[in-house]
Amino acid sequence: EPEVTQTPSHQVTQMGQEVILRCVPISNHLYFYWYRQILGQKVEFLVSFYNNEISEKSEIFDDRFSVERPDGSNFTLKIRSTKLEDSAMYFCASSGDGYQPQHFGDGTRLSIL
Amino acid sequence: AQTVTQSQPEMSVQEAETVTLSCTYDTSESDYYLFWYKQPPSRQMILVIRQEAYKQQNATENRFSVNFQKAAKSFSLKISDSQLGDAAMYFCACQTATGANSKLTFGKGITLSVRP
């Protein structure tokens, strides 16, 4: 069964540095999402992406965050000037259309030191 | 905006028994989808079951079934014949829009333990 893959599984970065989290959605999917889960808390929506542009973003997704689909297969989340509070599990998800369930990757654990 | 509430932080069930996990939600939309996702210790997010709000029939998926009470905005998950592998965090989620803005709103989750 096709799946969403995320790399790396764990990323450790110094505060203030930039980090890029990578995702390869399921190949025929058109809708892409990033979610965040701080340890012990609920999963929170960050951003949705369709047709090469952001469809919706939450208040968490401030101007330090950006997303890109550079080559038609990868979907990346970049965080500039990282803060301690960015430490969390980041999940990428994709769906074939807006009516289909979202399939999640295994997540990237981001640790900011 | 929609909200999802899971008021029980944890539950425990004996192996082979049945357990019900509760969830309530609130939305002003007439059309929406409800989901239960499972998150084992590996922290993957695995879709368990999905319910379309316009369908009156409760969704079932093998040992998993839901009790969808639309008027009460309640969406509980029943796990029958519980297995050790069912031990995980379970999240209830709501999706009120479709297309490009179809984000999921999650509850806080419930930790289910299964006693051998």
Q: Which domain holds residue A39?
A: 6-112
Q: How far apart are CA A66 and CA B61, in angstroms?
A: 37
Q: Does a structural domain hold residue A46?
A: yes
Calculate what percentage of chain A has a pLDDT beyond 90: 80
Nearest to A45 among B44, B47, B105 (CB): B105
Task: Give the CATH number of the domain where residue A95 resides.
Answer: 2.60.40.10
User: For chain A, what is the domain count?
Assistant: 1
Residue pLDDT, tens place only, B35-82: 999 999 888 889 999 999 988 899 999 999 999 999 999 999 999 999
Q: Does a structural domain hold residue A1?
A: no
Q: Where are the domains of chain B?
A: 3-115
Q: Does A104 touch chain B (CB under 8 A)?
A: yes
Query: B3-115 belongs to which CATH class?
Result: mainly beta
Q: Per-residue DSSP letters for A2-65?
A: ---EEE-SEEEE-TT--EEEEEE--TT--EEEEEEE-TTS-EEEEEEEETTEEEEE-TTS-TTE
The reply to whether residue B103 touches residue A31, judged by beta carbons under 8 angstroms, is no
Q: How does residue A2 score in pLDDT terms, banded at 50, 70 and 90?
A: low
Residue pLDDT, tens place only, A36-62: 999 888 899 999 999 899 999 999 999
